[in-house]
Amino acid sequence: GPYVGSYGDFIVSVESDDGSKTEYLKLDQKNQNLFDAGVTGTFVVNSSVYLQNVKCVVIKTVNDDYWFMDKAIVIFEGKSTEFSNADHVGLSTDPTEGESELTLCV
């Protein structure tokens, strides 16, 4: 879509290869427009769930403001896992714009 940036709200959950997963945690922009086109956003989320080996990341939107991201990187205890949005799926609750949930796995 022509609108790559977003002012929407997005939540994320991270899953381990043993099936354990975090609760859904809000990606907080802290008024920095981190969902704008061309911006690399860094979000810190805290969870009490221990993840042995990060396997998947699930990103959901709660409104219809379209957002596209090309990759996500999860860093847990110093280990970095990169997820590619190879299918170029955009996020929106409006089904004419994109999907309301995106699951990326390694």
The pLDDT of residue 73 is 87
- Report whether 11 contacts 59 (CB < 8 A): yes
Q: Residue 50: what pLDDT? A: 85
Q: Which residues pair with 64 in a beta bridge?
A: none
- Res 1: pLDDT: 35
Which amino acid is residue 81, in one-letter code? Answer: T
Question: 2 or 67: which carries more pLDDT confidence?
Answer: 67
Which residue's structure tokens are 């609750």? 93
